[in-house]
Chain A
Amino acid sequence: MAKLKAPAEAPPTPAAASNGYLPQFGEKERSNLPRLTPRPPYLLMYHPERWTVIANQVVPLFGNLKLQAGINRIKVTRDGKFQKLEAQAAMEEQGWQIIPPDVDGPGTSYLRQAAPGVFVSRWETTYPGSAHIETDSEGFAAWCRSLLDRGVIPRAQTYVLELLKAKRQREHDDLADKVATTPSLRANVSRVAEDLKAIEAELARYGRGEAVASKAVDVADLLGGE
């Protein structure tokens, strides 16, 4: 098969008899902004019982504390700054821990503004004129693991991993049952099976966790009535 030739360079322009002309158009140019609906900025929140598997890594299933007045007690001042202390207190009471946006160091942020009123994470790529978003799941999972390594958040407790494993196992079994009649579910079965492997690896890495110590009960004290 003949090889394709490299594209030739444009032929030289003959000497101009008059000044070149470039037409100017008055129509509006197509916006370079992504066509996404408004998304408020948010703070990531970690909860010790919310974990998931992304890109074959066990990572926290973060919550988002949306910074929008009226949602979960968030207020906004006249100059547009957010007041989050009440919201934060209510969330912390439920076990959530806020991850500061500059957790990676001063001047960094896990948030970016894709368009006016549209805030996405730094692992999301948006495209001009499109509503499509692409997620760098591997990059996000690696960042989550770095939070664990740096001690920003603790590792998942063993009982949480066991519960997650049991949930995924049920899901896997249910999907596997249906594959015989609906072969298109095979991809989902494989996906959940990979999740299970990742959870088992995480369990093997840390072994059994420590339960909260409690005082032994002397049954003889309870049965003294006869």
Chain B
Amino acid sequence: MAGEILYSGLGDLRTAEALSAELLLLLQDRNALPNHPALLYAGSAEGRGSAVLKIPEVGLMGYDLLSQTADGNPVANTALSDGSVTITVARYSKSYEASDLARLTDPANGMINVSAFAADAVQSAANTLVSLVCNVTDDFTSTVGSSGVDLSIANFLAAIQTLEVAKVTAPYMAILHPQQMGDLRAAIAATSGGAIQWLPASQEQIQLLGNGYRGQWLGVDIFTSAFVPTKNMGADYGGAMFGRGAVAWADSSIPDDGDPMQTILAGKVLFERDRTAKNGLTAYVSHAYLGCSKAIDAAGVTIISDF
């Protein structure tokens, strides 16, 4: 037989590849952290006269006890304990620039268009903030855990105890690397026999506390993030547990100057379009202003465990 219509012979009638209606996002940790009371938001730097925000620390509300004083004697003055932490808000930006040809061939499920870039801008700003927080919490002076050893229940308990001894007010928040979370979950499953209740994250809690929320154990709200950095030259991870006052972060809203090519997303991210007409190029540029600092060192404990 001859003259069959074979796919391989339809070069003019078929395309080499057709785009699926489905779209796969490349892997990234897209878990937001905020909205936990342990994270102290220092406010926006907008209109404050400086990119550096200072949070005063003061030893009042019972910080110093009364001194015993003999009847008829004058009481000596008590020195007021104070301190401060400063947060420097810095610029974080991103630009995706696409040619007209790249944009006009964008299929219905859209990846190279303004909506996709706008959504990306908001998520990227949230991820950047998470990475800043994780890069601060890995170096509290107090630590628990051992280099090269998996995270254990004992380490987790020791972290809680360290904070309680340091008079840190609950609720506590833990940020663990997914590897540490896996170790902890395995330890709980293998050794506690379910004697201590794990409270998994409900849908409402995830909406309130972000996708990174994994649930509560022993009264500690546990979040995971792949942005938790390594310690000891890559041999370990440096997660953390802390209460309010250990970490403070700040941001800034960016004034919208009425340019129709600009918009403010999520109240904090400036998203703008920059057209280079002669080249047929359009850039979608986003800016966020963020900063994060360690505040009261004793209010946090770094959790070291095997990589």
Check if A115 is an interface residue, CB within 8 A of chain B.
no
Q: Which residue of A66, A135, A170, A171 contacts B135 across the interface (Cβ within 8 Å)?
A: A66
Greatest chain A CB density within 10 A among B89, B135, B227 is at: B135
Contact B139 A52 (CB under 8 A): no
Q: Give bound CA distance, A134 to B234, whole Å.
A: 8
Check if A49 is an interface residue, CB within 8 A of chain B.
yes
Q: In the complex, how many angstroms separate the beta carbon of B248 from the nearest chain A beta carbon?
A: 11
Contact A95 B147 (CB under 8 A): no
Contact A174 B147 (CB under 8 A): no
Contact A86 B139 (CB under 8 A): no
Check if B294 is an interface residue, CB within 8 A of chain A.
yes
Contact B235 A135 (CB under 8 A): yes
- Contact residues, B202-255 vs A (CB, 8 A): 226-227, 229-235
Q: How large is the interface on A (under 10, 10 to 19, 20 to 34, 35 or more residues)?
A: 35 or more
Do most interface residues of chain B lie in helix, strand or loop, or is the interface mixed? mixed
Contact A192 B146 (CB under 8 A): yes
Q: Give bound CA distance, A72 to B149, whole Å.
A: 29
- Contact residues, B249-304 vs A (CB, 8 A): 290-294, 297, 304
Q: How large is the interface on B (under 10, 10 to 19, 20 to 34, 35 or more residues)?
A: 35 or more
Q: In the complex, how many angstroms separate the beta carbon of B295 from the nearest chain A beta carbon?
A: 10
Q: Give bound CA distance, A68 to B92, whole Å.
A: 10
Contact B138 A75 (CB under 8 A): no
Do most interface residues of chain A lie in helix, strand or loop, or is the interface mixed? mixed
Number of A-B residue pairs at CB separation under 8 A? 129
Contact B88 A174 (CB under 8 A): no
With A70-B90, A171-B155 given, is the CB distance from A191 to B132 under 8 Å? no
Contact B293 A72 (CB under 8 A): yes
Check if A155 is an interface residue, CB within 8 A of chain B.
no
With A72-B293, A75-B90, A182-B190 given, is the CB distance from A54 to B152 under 8 Å? no
Contact A188 B235 (CB under 8 A): no
Q: Give bound CA distance, A61 to B230, whole Å.
A: 12
Contact B132 A71 (CB under 8 A): yes
Contact B89 A192 (CB under 8 A): no
Contact with B along A152-175 (1 / 0, CB 8 A): 000000000000000110110011
Residues of A close to B191: CB separation below 8 A: 178, 181-182, 185
Q: In the complex, how many angstroms separate the beta carbon of A87 from the nearest chain B beta carbon?
A: 9
Q: Give bound CA distance, A140 to B231, whole Å.
A: 12
Q: Give bound CA distance, A36 to B206, whole Å.
A: 28
Greatest chain A CB density within 10 A among B52, B88, B158 is at: B88
Contact with B along A78-102 (1 / 0, CB 8 A): 0000000010001000110000000
Contact B297 A94 (CB under 8 A): yes
Q: Which residue of B86, B233, B292, B307 contacts A121 across the interface (Cβ within 8 Å)?
A: B233
Q: Give bound CA distance, A39 to B131, whole Å.
A: 10
Q: In the complex, how many angstroms separate the beta carbon of B191 from the nearest chain A beta carbon?
A: 5
Contact B297 A53 (CB under 8 A): no
Check if A148 is an interface residue, CB within 8 A of chain B.
no
Contact B235 A68 (CB under 8 A): no
Residues of A close to B148: CB separation below 8 A: 54, 137, 191
Q: Which residue of B89, B149, B226, B233 contacts A191 across the interface (Cβ within 8 Å)?
A: B149
Check if A45 is an interface residue, CB within 8 A of chain B.
yes
Contact B154 A121 (CB under 8 A): no
Q: Give bound CA distance, A49 to B89, whole Å.
A: 30
Contact A188 B150 (CB under 8 A): yes
Contact A73 B293 (CB under 8 A): yes
Greatest chain A CB density within 10 A among B89, B90, B138 is at: B90
Question: Which chain B residue lies CB-closest to A69?
Answer: B90
Q: Which residue of A140, A185, A188 contacts B233 across the interface (Cβ within 8 Å)?
A: A140
Check if A120 is an interface residue, CB within 8 A of chain B.
yes
Check if B39 is an interface residue, CB within 8 A of chain A.
no
Check if A40 is an interface residue, CB within 8 A of chain B.
yes
24 A-B pairs within 8 Å (CB atoms) are namely A37-B227, A53-B146, A54-B235, A61-B143, A61-B147, A69-B91, A70-B88, A70-B92, A72-B292, A72-B293, A73-B86, A73-B293, A74-B88, A74-B90, A75-B90, A90-B293, A94-B141, A124-B234, A133-B230, A135-B234, A171-B154, A171-B158, A175-B152, A188-B150
List the 6 closest pairs (A to B, CB-CB), nearest first: A69-B90, A70-B90, A63-B139, A174-B154, A70-B291, A124-B234
Extra contacts, 17 of them, besides A40-B135, A171-B149 (Cβ < 8 A), are A50-B141, A63-B139, A70-B88, A71-B292, A74-B88, A90-B293, A94-B141, A121-B234, A134-B234, A167-B144, A171-B152, A174-B152, A175-B152, A188-B149, A191-B149, A192-B146, A195-B146
